[in-house]
Structure 1
Amino acid sequence: MTNYERHTAVTDEERREFLKVIGVAGAVGASGVTLGELNSTVEPSNVEALSAVGAAVSEEMAGGVNPDLLATQQAELATALSAAPAAVESGAAFREPGSAFDDIAEAGWLTHDHLAETGFFETLSEEMPAFNPERLTTSTQAFLGSSAATAPLTDLDLGGTEGVDLVAPIINQAEKLSHFHWIASGDIPAEHQLADVLPPISQRAAGGVLLWLQNLDDHLYQDQVLLNEQILADGIWEVRGMTAGFYLMAEGAKAVSADSDRFTDAELGALFATSIALQEVAQRMLPVHMHWLDEAARDPGNVKIDSISI
């Protein structure tokens, strides 16, 4: 593996299953399908709930956040993400504790804090219904069927086939998202003591992404002896997924604040649902790929016996 930014962690079988669920199996080739093909092939349906979410968030947040600040931080996020794989490939990340992934997190914290201060996370969490497989299928179809909604992924070099692989785990892991990751704010029992201190769930998704990224440079340096090329490639793929989800969330917030007509209400609802799901899926998979390593996963050839002292 010599080019980490061209690696995805989606198998051909997972891709075929994904295309089947969204209703385009047979209409496109599974191995080389692109976002552009799906934009013109996927037929969104039952988008009324998505329209309601988009309209409600737009009404609540119109003029509420600073779109210029978000755009500036998005540019920094894209630059930092683009630079990170090279730091790993060059070996710089292993010679001393680096800041390749912390730079991505730093570019995101200002956005996170601004959206928290303006009430964006609270509004989004209140308006978005709980995830379930049917809703995730509907939102994913609406997202993929919209060239406007998928266009921001090209800023992160995630267009084409990689953009399809980015979104596929939302469907393939829909049951896990439903049971373990998203509980609508209104469904948290009022008597539950944590309900008053937990931040909105969309904020927890975004903050979790940034905390994982903030920790990753030290993990690479301290535990490099355990990490082979496949582990690194899979981990970087999840980093790209987390960052893409965060980036899309900021894109939606920017659009509603500027009162832009770039997205329809349904596209905006799909954009928000997809952005949160991407953040949740990728940060669940990052520790699976990079932290919870068994003997079969790690490469024993990485261990330098002559460097071990007893």
Structure 2
Amino acid sequence: MVEGYGERTTVSDEDRREFLKVLGVSGSIAAGGLGLEELGSTASLGAAEELAPVGQAIRSDLSGAIDADLVAEQQAALTTSSEEMVATVERGLPSEAPREAFAAVADAGWPVYEHLRDVGFYASADEQLPAFDADTLGAAMETFVASDQLVSMVEEFGLGNYQGVDLLATVIGNAEQLQNYHWVATEEVPGGVSAPSDAFPTAPQAAAGGALLWLEDIDEYLYQNELILTEEIHADAAWHGETMAAGLHLMSEAARVIGEGAGALSDAELASLLTVSFAVQATAQGLITQDVYWVTEEMRAPRAAGDN
């Protein structure tokens, strides 16, 4: 069993330094191992001006369209199922039969995904959000960490202290891959490629729907490959599943705020929240393949005596 799942870090020192650099945090402050809440006091809302028009446009597109009660109800189920999913690490890999812990997270997420698809949420995000390059992600992260309300959304989901930092630093550490391979705006798709649909979704819809499809698959994968997997790989699966769930949670928070129409977040905070939520989901999909599904000879569990 992997000891101290909640204390393990999943981010390299280099990625963490790059994240702190984006926030403008000095090395002396960073050396203190601060969590998101503490880092917020060092960040600024300087990027808010460029994000505000994006949030305003999305809010306008979706005014009166989102069922905030439905979203809130499923958020509660998502949080509970995510906690239960992470708890499977303490029980070890499944050996008797596949579990349904990861799939339960997907079950909680599908109703929100489908509702948001039907009201044009993903289409609006695809149209209004800027391309996910280093500057866009940096501006979104700066605004996110400087907002007490946004940071509290991560902490309330159970990713407090440095786990919240890991969640966001992973996105910055994989910004180039995200930009080049996981996030292509519809307007940049080459001519002749099928228009967006359920078969060829927009980037925001692919981020959310793809995360749910991965979550549906992981239980069976862990069971079928138990002999070659290690508890470390199991813990990686739980972490990437948890980050996908966190991304879904943050996306749902943005949708709920729009649905309630009460202005709980500024337009800049809304744009930041949406950007981070989609980026977290898309990044996790790229990482789970290399950390969990592409098991090399060096990664796999030791062979039993007599195995070739």
State whether TM-score is above 0.5: yes
Q: Which runs of 5+ in 2 are unaligned?
A: none
CA separation of 1:13/1:201 partners in 2, compared to 1, >3 Å: closer, same or farther?
closer
**1:149, CA displacement in angstroms?**
1.2
**1:181, CA displacement in angstroms?**
1.4
SS in 2 for 1:157: coil
How far apart, CA to CA, are the structure 1 residues paired with 2:47 and 2:159?
27
Name the Cα RMSD after superposition. 1.8
How far apart, CA to CA, are the structure 2 residues paired with 1:82 and 1:196?
34
CA separation of 1:250/1:31 partners in 2, compared to 1, >3 Å: closer, same or farther?
same
Query: What do residues 104-132 of structure 1 show as CA deviations (whole Å, max 9, x unaligned)?
Result: 00000011111011111111111111111
TM-score under structure 1 normalisation?
0.93
> What is aligned with 1:185?
186
How far apart, CA to CA, are the structure 2 residues paired with 1:186 and 1:49?
21
> What is aligned with 1:195?
195
CA contact (8 A) 1:149 1:267 kept: yes
> What is aligned with 1:47?
48
**1:305, CA displacement in angstroms?**
4.0
Q: Which runs of 5+ in 1 are unaligned?
A: none
Runs (4 or more) in structure 1 with deviation over 6 Å come to none
Query: What do residues 3-28 of structure 1 show as CA deviations (whole Å, max 9, x unaligned)?
Result: 43443311233212321232112352
- Report sequence identity in percent: 38
How far apart, CA to CA, are the structure 2 residues paired with 1:17 and 1:214?
32
How far apart, CA to CA, are the structure 2 residues paired with 1:78 and 1:27?
35
Query: What do residues 248-296 of structure 1 show as CA deviations (whole Å, max 9, x unaligned)?
Result: 0010011011112221000000000000100011111011111101111
**1:143, CA displacement in angstroms?**
0.7
CA separation of 1:240/1:30 partners in 2, compared to 1, >3 Å: closer, same or farther?
farther
Query: What do residues 209-256 of structure 1 show as CA deviations (whole Å, max 9, x unaligned)?
Result: 000000000001000111112212222111111111111001001101
CA separation of 1:237/1:25 partners in 2, compared to 1, >3 Å: closer, same or farther?
farther
Is 1:124 the counterpart of 2:125? The answer is yes
1:275 aligns with one of 274, 277, 287? 277
> What is aligned with 2:74?
73
1:249 aligns with one of 228, 251, 276? 251
Matches within 5 A, 1:205-284: 205-284=207-286
TM-score under structure 2 normalisation?
0.93
